[in-house]
Amino acid sequence: MGHQEDNMKTFRIISIYYANALQKELVNLPIVSIFLVGKLLRYALFFLFMYLLVSGVNNIGGYSRGQMLIFYLVFNIIDTASQLLFREVYYFKPLIISGNFDMVLTKPFNPLVRVLLAGPDFIDAGMLIILIGALFFFMRNQTGQSSLSVFYFLVMFVNSLLIAGAFHIIVLGIGILTYSVDHLVMIYRDITSLMRIPVDLFANPLRAVLTFIIPIGIMFTFPAKVLLGLLSWQFIFISFIFGVSSVVLSLQFWKFALKHYQSASS
């Protein structure tokens, strides 16, 4: 019963954070609209570039032109969703340097939830709706998918967010130990941008590294493959192992970092 009450309390507080973030963006609606249009243009131009790039090719590494575009859309959906959820990580460094993280630790609320989920970016929510609509549009001409494939895709999508969350938790832990967050987040963004194309198109050993050591292949390519009916159940199972393991290990690292945190008053 106590765990249930704690979970409900956490959910209520997160809801308040989300409501406050939404209110801030609604107050600055003209600026938010400009940012949304800018992001939409960036995605549209790169999508056009991808389309023109593969328009004269019927097969790329065993994938059709339509499948390549699906991979790109799924990449952007997962990337945008993770940016929406974990945007607060970008503001962690000032919190540490100013000493305000001390105040977070003194409150009767999980500090990890506060620094990981308290600042969603609702501009990305608008982009997410557009990207999902585009994915449904392009999936109409694809074969191999079924209701079960869509279900597995949703499960794999959640698994991808778990891996993304683990990456961000590790960044937060390193931020406590070294006060470096911005560069690590940018490195993460640069590495994940490789997954605009399927991980299968990379040569070994890079493909193995991007799949099983830095599991961004599992994070971005596997959900698209399962949606297209191209992923076996063995790899689906492996994906879940990586998703759960990455979260467990990142939480252990977060606890280690907290033990070595030197507060502003120390």
243 domain residue, yes or no: yes
Give the structural domain span for 37: 2-259
Per-residue pLDDT reduced to its tens digit, 106-115: 888 889 998 9
pTM of the model: 0.88
Name which residue leads in pLDDT, 250 or 22. 250
The model's pLDDT over 17-30, given as tens digits with 9 standing for 90+, comes to 888 877 777 777 77
Buried b (16+ CB within 10 A) or exposed e, 42-78: ebeeebeebeeebeeeeeeeebbbbbbbbbbbbbbbb
Tell me if residue 43 falls in helix, strand or coil: helix
Q: Residue 185 pLDDT > 90, yes or no? A: no
Amino acid 64: pLDDT? 83
Tokens of 89: 């990580």
Task: Tell me whether residue 86 is in a domain.
Answer: yes
- pLDDT value at residue 4: 65
- Token pair listed for 75: 């990449």
Structure tokens at 80: 């945008």
Residue % of the chain over a pLDDT of 70: 91
Residue 265 resides in a domain? no
Distance CA(222)–CA(236), nearest Å, equals 8
Residue 193 lies in a domain: yes
Residue 224 has phi, psi (to 5 degrees) of: -65, -40
Q: Per-residue confidence at 56, pLDDT binned at 50, 70, 90?
A: low
Average pLDDT over residues 14-43: 77
CB 160 within 8 A of CB 199: no
Looking at the 3D structure of the chain, how many domains does it have?
1
In a domain, 117, yes or no: yes
